Structure 1
């Protein structure tokens, strides 16, 4: 009878990556989005899925985002060999499951999500939310603003997402920035990073100008680099009580993220995106979300993989990875 070798290294593979039950992000333990349960588990980060894309004006499919990201997350280890950094040791992250979506009802769904994300925050854990379309940022920033007096916001995106409404509907994936302002975020502490001039309406640009929101254009990143963009975003959004980071995968060039609702020609490379996320997250975050991954819209898991990588990078650099480098 064969005997399995002793397991001395918890970061080492022992079987097929795709074997076993598919349930949680990176096979982390499940803990309900309940503050007492999270405190008892010692969790300092909570993955939370919000599989909702009923507000999308473009291609749908982001409601499969949380599932798709979780399914491919077995490819990642919690240990970064180059940085000699162990995410489990640093944050003890857990997976809090998905929001109980109320079908076709953004208001009721967001109320449930806001309560769940609030519970993660009340446990002094970092909420890491997977969308869903970009409207899912709305309950996250509302939950944060209830608990933090003066938060800042960094949004990495191809789009400004500052529409006052879309056809009269305010809970739309074009509106997370304007709803954050409504929730009490200071517009002077909001930085929009990687924005393309060709993919935004005049109304949203007018909103940013009228409210004094900083826009870091894609062309500025080409000229000045990712380190400049991350430092500038932290300078703007970090002037208050901390930073909430929202990352839309359509900030990436469509060659790197085709599985999204609005693929973007000429966007960031995967490496540029990682560099920006590391730079913004360095020094700590109040929360993070990764949105608009739509696995059903591509034949490969490329977009889900970069979405998961962004979340891991944000958590790691939030927790101090690379601080000594």
Structure 2
């Protein structure tokens, strides 16, 4: 590559990986948009969680262990930072207990990033934050498609009469016409539900829904093809709830669901996603460090974020 990207992680030879300010993979902590392709954005909000709180510390937990990651992707045989200029944008100043004010902060910042052709990768936080991300990006790109890895559909109408929680963001997004369900897909749903018709209700809304039982019968390549056929070339947001994985691999999360996939199975599904998709944003949510022994959940979350960056680098390389 002739033109080296402006921003990337510091070189491993300059200092041990465990030293320095805790940014994602030791990326520069700046809020620039010029000559920036990707911004990792901390979204430390958890007061819309329905069970365990503490995911407000997810961004810091992911950043802390991300220093263990090395720059080159052995699976794709690429150093993504040779192709993409990447920064750590820092944490947005979200307001605990005030979800609508928090949504405004996210919306404004994400619109700003999108207007400057920067792709954000959000570090949650509970899953309610995704509604704010979709709002900001849709102001620039129009209604978005969704690729949603999760044990839960998050399309419930309310919790305790409250419309805005981490279990309701995608129903709200449909109501606001910022999400196109007919080009969206939910992957990995499982566990107990409030009503036997919950999964069918999501399908009736227009989502393609793949339960964990169904997913186990698919290869990474066949899932990639199904996602590609569903999304086509529409602007797409990928949201990944860490509880997609079995709790044996992600103990540090707020609503664990037994019977999920292993870490290698989930990574393999992400790695095989088509590089031809029109990604406009990503997030990784529901990491709860206080329950995360040996930082295994945060490390897996950091690795998923790295795979997002690698997908975007593959796109850059193929142009």
Q: Which stretch of structure 1 is more off in the superposition, 89-98 or 196-205? A: 196-205
Q: State the secondary structure of the residue aligned to 1:192.
A: strand
| 2:124 is the alignment partner of 1:125 | no
Counterpart position of 1:292: 286
Counterpart position of 2:17: 17
CA distance in 1, matches of 2:11, 2:215: 36
TM-score by length of 1: 0.88
Counterpart position of 1:6: none
CA contact (8 A) 2:45 2:95 kept: no
CA drift at 1:58: 1.4
| 2:33 is the alignment partner of 1:38 | yes
Deviations for 1:186-240, whole angstroms, at most 9, x for unmatched residues?
211120001115346446435313312111111111112232223212321x235
Counterpart position of 2:141: 148
Distance 1:240 1:17, change over 3 A: closer
> What are the residue-to-residue correspondences of 1:89-108 with 2, within 5 Å?
89-108=82-101
CA contact (8 A) 2:153 2:186 kept: yes
Distance 1:81 1:156, change over 3 A: closer
CA distance in 2, matches of 1:109, 1:149: 21
CA contact (8 A) 1:161 1:173 kept: yes
CA contact (8 A) 1:256 1:303 kept: yes
CA distance in 2, matches of 1:61, 1:139: 19
CA distance in 2, matches of 1:283, 1:131: 26
CA distance in 2, matches of 1:117, 1:138: 11
CA distance in 2, matches of 1:10, 1:51: 25
Counterpart position of 2:5: none
CA distance in 1, matches of 2:291, 2:193: 20
CA drift at 1:323: 7.9
Deviations for 1:152-206, whole angstroms, at most 9, x for unmatched residues?
1010000111112222222210012212212321211120001115346446435
CA distance in 1, matches of 2:287, 2:271: 20
Counterpart position of 1:188: 182
| From 225, 246, 249, the counterpart of 2:219 | 225
Counterpart position of 2:40: 47
Distance 1:235 1:97, change over 3 A: same
CA contact (8 A) 2:134 2:144 kept: no
CA distance in 1, matches of 2:85, 2:272: 22
| 2:54 is the alignment partner of 1:61 | yes
CA distance in 1, matches of 2:199, 2:260: 19
Q: How many residues align?
A: 308
Distance 1:214 1:84, change over 3 A: closer
| 2:242 is the alignment partner of 1:243 | no
Counterpart position of 1:319: 313
Distance 1:160 1:81, change over 3 A: closer
| Unaligned stretches of 5+ residues in structure 1 | 1-8
CA distance in 2, matches of 1:148, 1:132: 24
CA drift at 1:57: 0.8
| From 282, 304, 309, the counterpart of 2:298 | 304
| Unaligned stretches of 5+ residues in structure 2 | 1-8
Distance 1:101 1:190, change over 3 A: same
Distance 1:200 1:95, change over 3 A: farther
Q: Which stretch of structure 1 is more off in the superposition, 276-285 or 165-174? A: 276-285
Counterpart position of 1:27: 26
CA contact (8 A) 1:148 1:241 kept: no
CA drift at 1:45: 0.2
Distance 1:256 1:18, change over 3 A: same
